[in-house]
Structure 1
Amino acid sequence: MTHCVGFQLADEAATVQMGNQLAMLMEQGAVIYLHGDLGAGKTTLTRGVIQGFGHQGKVKSPTYTLVEPYELTTANVYHFDLYRLGDPEELEYMGIRDYFSPTAICVVEWPEKGGEFIPAPDLDITLRYVGDARAVEIQSISPRGHSIVDKLKNHSE
């Protein structure tokens, strides 16, 4: 059974804050899929997650490198952007499976391009435009994801 929660995000700061909140609720590793049109806020949400784990510097989308690692004191966070991936098999050559450890946080933009080379998500997140704002829908897929969504629901009430 999946759990689902949705929020309206007024601006970029609210999107970053949602990422911070997600980071605070993760007790161990997680695989997070991000869906949405170009510019919908996937990298902005990811920046919030990464900063929520203590990263101070810039967070850029790894559009050309496919993965940007953030090895922080509280967690290893790996930001994947598969938008420009030509063939999912390329992921096997880059050692994709090494990134997905039980304690790593793996945030994957454009996961549909990864095929069977990436594991199923704990959270499946969709961002979309609503005028100048964004709507985010967070769906849990696994027991770990259910726990995060339940905490997020309780935290926002």
Structure 2
Amino acid sequence: MSPEPDAGPPLRPSEQAGLRGPAEQWAFGAALARSMPRGGVVFLEGELGAGKTTLTQGLAAALGFTGRVTSPTYALMHVYPAPAGPVLHVDAYRVRDVAELYEMDLETLIGDSCLSVIEWGQALYEDYPEAPIYRLEHVDDDPGLRRVTRLR
């Protein structure tokens, strides 16, 4: 199931959807980008290979970025220049203390971005209480299917 373009946020809190394959994960990300306010933050959770980067690819493309979107696991952050404004992509999984991110000027980077995607950002949830949180999960009996749940 892919979200309809410009149909509002793809999922309300506590709702779930099934995404079959990368194309639907990408489309979900694009719909999410269109539903977010300029300067918004969105959090993504999910184990390795659940589709967080693929979803972010669709999100960045919807904002006009035409380059390659990759996981920021080792770099911690990527900034993708897009016509709509920079897209910030953060992976906080390896961060031991949230202060490390703030020392890297996270607040300014978020403030300067048209949209920020933060993976594994649980330590930042309280700092961005309006930001939606989406969890992506493998579905055990169907390797091509991912379940996405909006937690808030």
Q: Normalising TM by the smaller chain, what interval? A: 0.7 to 0.9
- Give distance in 2, aligned partners of 1:42 and 1:114: 18
Q: Which of the two has greater helix per residue?
A: 1
Which residue number in structure 2 is paired with residue 135 of structure 1?
147
Query: Do the aligned partners of 1:31 and 1:106 also contact (CA within 8 Å) in 2?
Result: yes
Between the aligned partners of 2:118 and 2:150, the Cα distance in structure 1 is 14
Partner of 1:124: 133
How far did 1:24 drift?
Answer: 2.1
Question: Deviation above 6 Å: which 4+ runs of structure 1?
Answer: none
The normalised TM-score by structure 2 is: 0.80
Indicate whether 1:69 and 2:86 are aligned.
Answer: no
Displacement of 1:63 in angstroms is 1.1
Task: Give deviations 1:96-151, integer Å, cap 9, x for gaps.
Answer: 111222863110001125576x53352110111112110111244xxxxxxxxxxx
Q: How does 1:31-110 map to 2 (within 5 A)?
A: 31-101=41-111, 104-110=114-120
Give the TM-score taking structure 1 as reference length. Answer: 0.78
State whether residues 91 and 114 of structure 1, in contact with CA within 8 Å, keep that contact through their aligned partners in structure 2.
no
Q: Is contact 2:86-2:112 (8 Å) kept? A: no
Q: CA deviation at 1:40?
A: 0.9
Distance 1:135 1:129 in 2: 6
1:18 to 1, 13, 28: 28
Q: Secondary structure at the match of 2:15?
A: strand
Alpha-carbon offset, residue 33 of structure 1: 0.6
Structure 2: segments with no counterpart, 5+ residues:
1-11
- For the aligned residue pairs, the C-alpha RMSD in angstroms reads 2.1
Residues 103 and 79 of structure 1, relative CA distance in 2, 3 Å threshold: closer
